[in-house]
Copies of this chain bind each other. A is one copy, B any other.
């Protein structure tokens, strides 16, 4: 109603009978000692009584740097992306920064709009939490502005930290081979990048090479349609192709847990048992993976470490711009053995069981 609905420094100053400058100083945290305790106390009390809150737009205008960090991600459709962003933002807040979040589905312009918003808000750095094909090109405005950009498990075109998918699939494959499987499958979405070219496939192939055995690896690619639950759908579509195959693999690794869940649901529907007829493993250790039946063997995403280290990298870029930026590096996850690969009899296992041991059962 009133034309000036908020309380300003000047209001507090007038009420407390001091200057604006004194109020500003009194309300600051660190600055103890330069001011009489009596004045400080009186000012703070007045500010509190009036419900004063500093207006950040004014603070940002006058300070040399904002404490804003742009965060680019897709929040929808993949629960673990929201989780990753959540952890990253907590790290930022813990270091005194504030997040300016932009999710690419919020506008049809997506990344372009994100860059606009970040630059118009004078962010001091940017976290890219989402891999996209032409990232380097799309983020050019940020590079032109010489903004520090960090990749949060979004590929190695920028300094940052990510998850080692090659290692994950190396470990999954090694485990499946130890169980006796000789015909492996790999489920992957039809993508700009082919299944063979993925780091996951390279991990599988390396494990096969290291086993010194005769192993076949077949790639099962299924179309990905942009929709809610796209990964589940990829798994379900891949199952149709798998079922049509005459010489089926006995063990299938899916590129993410949700694909494995979609894959398994279609096998069930076709009367094929997991793990008795086919072993299935995923990647990511999504919460659904431990509450499905059978519970999914998978590899964790070490987001906590990834986020912490990536934010360290970002702060390094911000605070020491003259230093050579570090290389993008990857952190390995942890193999979690549950029911879906047949390591334990299904009825023994608990949904939450996290076994880290040598395989005991051997597949035919």
Contacts and interface: CB of A to CB of B under 8 A. Distances in A.
A229 B287 contact: yes
A265 B287 contact: no
A20 to B, nearest CB: 16
A268 interface: yes
Contacts of A55: 61, 120-122
B346 A269 contact: yes
A290 B292 CA distance: 14
A3 B83 CA distance: 37
Interface in A263-321: 264-266, 268-269, 271, 287-288, 290-293, 295, 321
B51 A61 contact: no
Contacts of A83: 76-77, 228
Nearest to A229: B287
A162 B342 CA distance: 44
A326 interface: no
B351 A120 contact: no
Given A5-B146, A53-B120, A77-B79, 12 more contacts: A51-B144, A55-B122, A57-B61, A57-B122, A75-B75, A79-B82, A86-B106, A233-B291, A236-B351, A262-B291, A266-B293, A288-B288
